[in-house]
């Protein structure tokens, strides 16, 4: 008779090829058997009849602000927000203080994360003009999914400007590079267009669609030249969609991310939320929003990412443009994805690709992203067709607010297991953080140079 640490009994499993009612046997943090386990022996049997069991989401773009800005967020609070939203793995961006641009900075983040993260973690290393020659080694260090490139201004030295420097970054390594694609020279020019008494509604005009299109066009041309695949983050314009589609059709191994913010909100949000609607790249007109949404439905995008970027209410209360850009989102992204399914925009299988499977394929993540024997038991139990109104009291982020307050989402997590351990039970976190550093099965691909 098989013996398990715990068994989830009778749930509707969301699998790659469709739903199935079955039990899940877990041992040593791993799914070891799926099927009828009524005769199995287990230390704990949890009945989940009538509930859905999903793989935990992998959010490949968050900003948890540690080190240097812990008053906004830290690894514990940010990962707890992830847990409450069903995100069991996150990749954190390098624009902290100090920036993650060296082995020492990466090791520091990994040390800070150990024993404090409610979800599994990886930390991007940021490209800068100063570390280009080290990037080939840095991208293969344990604990990182690779190298992030900022083409628009960011923290400290993280801006990589000029095609020659960008070309050198792409030549120094082979893993897919996530890209913040806004053209810095154009952004500098557009700052002069601010009115005498600027309002947040001006934000999508001083970081306009052409700045995004120019940067995406430039990086895709360099990707073609060097053979290095790029992953275009938080696509915000209709103008970029054709470029991305053409790159995919020409075999550049290009991938792209959509955020819930750009899929759901339009420029009307500036009138309701003011600077709380401010992010980079901006939320834009209904024309852009609709085009991005249609592209998601038609299959252009590879992943959903939250671009969770919290700031305090005091910081957001500063007059525009002194107010910082960014909003929280890691806790609401999986329920937003379930809303897309519940409303019939995408299938459940497509949602699993966007939220779980494709992040693993892009970054070579080992053992995660699906419910299957041999995979890590990162699982979410919920009622995906049940709507709920987002309330401020639910939020776990230190910033204490969200643009999604008052909106309707679906499938609030009831239980969440991280590496086989219950970390969320009956909607509240329990025990101690059990997140671990993600492992990768990345096989370097020779570049053309």
Is the four-CA dihedral 364, 369, 372, 374 of positive or negative sign?
positive
Candidates 183, 239, 307, 378; catalytic one: 307
Tokens of 369: 């992203």
Instruction: Tell me, yes or no, if 307 is annotated catalytic.
Output: yes
How far apart (Å, rounded) are the C-alpha atoms in residues 37 and 146?
A: 40
Q: With CA atoms as reference, report the closest residue to 141 among 116, 124, 117.
A: 124
Q: With CA atoms as reference, report the closest residue to 74 among 312, 295, 344.
A: 312
Residues near 351 by beta carbon (within 8 Å), at least 6 away in sequence: 337, 338, 340, 341
Judging by beta carbons within 10 Å of its beta carbon (0-12, 13-18, 19+), is residue 406 exposed, middle or buried? exposed
How far apart (Å, rounded) are the C-alpha atoms in residues 419 and 417?
A: 6
The residue written with tokens 């992830």 in the block is 82
Q: Torsions phi, psi of 367, nearest 5?
A: 75, 15
Please say whether the beta carbons of 83 and 379 come within 8 A: no
What is the 3 state secondary structure string of 318-341?
CCCCCCCCCECCCCCHHHHHHHHH
Q: Is the peptide bond before 212 cis (omega within 30 degrees of 0)?
A: no
For the beta carbon of residue 165, count every other beta carbon within 10 angstroms. Answer: 16
How far apart (Å, rounded) are the C-alpha atoms in residues 267 and 277?
A: 9
Q: Is the peptide bond before 67 cis (omega within 30 degrees of 0)?
A: yes
What is residue 381's DSSP assignment? E
Please say whether the beta carbons of 51 and 384 come within 8 A: no
**What is the DSSP code string of 257-282?**
EE-HHHHH--TTHHHHHGGGG--SSP
How far apart (Å, rounded) are the C-alpha atoms in residues 26 and 31?
A: 5
Q: Which H or E run includes 417?
A: strand 415-418
Question: C-alpha 319: how far from its chain's center?
Answer: 29
Angle (CA) 428-434-439 rounded to 5° is 135
Catalytic residues: 307
């Amino acid at each position: 008779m098989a013996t398990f640490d715990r068994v989830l009994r009778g749930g509707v499993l969301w699998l790659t090829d469709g739903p199935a009612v079955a039990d899940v046997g877990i041992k040593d943090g791993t799914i070891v058997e799926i099927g009828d386990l009524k005769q199995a022996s287990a230390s704990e049997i949890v009945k989940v009849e009538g509930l859905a069991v999903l793989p935990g989401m992998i959010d490949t773009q968050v900003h948890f602000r540690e080190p240097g800005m812990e008053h906004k967020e830290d690894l514990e609070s940010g990962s707890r927000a992830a847990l409450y939203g069903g995100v069991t793995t996150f990749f954190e961006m390098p624009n902290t203080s100090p920036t993650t641009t060296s082995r020492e900075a990466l090791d520091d983040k990994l040390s800070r994360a150990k024993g404090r993260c409610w979800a599994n973690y990886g930390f991007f290393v940021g490209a800068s003009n100063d570390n280009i020659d080290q990037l080939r080694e840095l991208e293969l260090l344990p604990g990182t999914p690779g190298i992030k490139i900022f083409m628009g201004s960011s923290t400290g030295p993280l801006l990589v400007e000029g095609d020659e420097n960008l070309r050198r970054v792409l030549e120094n390594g082979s893993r897919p590079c996530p890209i913040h694609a806004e053209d810095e020279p154009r952004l500098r020019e557009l700052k002069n267009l601010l009115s005498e008494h600027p309002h947040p509604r001006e934000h999508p005009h001083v970081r306009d669609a052409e700045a995004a299109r120019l940067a995406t066009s430039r990086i895709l041309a360099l990707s073609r030249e060097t053979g290095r695949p790029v992953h275009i983050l938080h696509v915000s314009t209709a103008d970029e969609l054709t470029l991305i589609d053409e790159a995919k059709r020409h075999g550049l191994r290009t991938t792209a991310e959509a955020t819930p913010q750009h899929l759901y909100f339009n420029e009307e949000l500036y009138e309701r939320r003011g600077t709380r609607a401010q992010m980079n790249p901006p939320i834009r007109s209904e024309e852009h929003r609709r085009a991005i949404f249609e592209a998601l439905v038609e299959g252009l995008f590879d992943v959903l990412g939250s671009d969770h970027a919290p700031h305090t209410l005091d910081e957001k209360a500063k007059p525009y443009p002194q107010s910082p850009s960014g909003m929280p989102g890691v806790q609401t992204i999986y329920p937003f994805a379930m809303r897309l399914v519940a409303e019939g925009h995408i299938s459940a299988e497509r949602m699993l690709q966007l939220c779980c499977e494709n992040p693993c394929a892009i970054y070579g993540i080992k053992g995660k992203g699906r419910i299957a024997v041999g995979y890590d038991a990162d699982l979410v139990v919920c009622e995906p067709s049940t709507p709920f109104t987002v309330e401020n009291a639910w939020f776990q982020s230190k910033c204490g607010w969200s643009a999604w307050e008052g909106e309707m989402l679906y499938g609030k997590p009831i239980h969440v297991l991280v590496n086989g351990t219950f970390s969320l039970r009956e909607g509240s976190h329990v025990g101690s953080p059990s997140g671990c550093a993600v492992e990768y099965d990345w096989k370097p691909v020779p570049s053309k140079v």
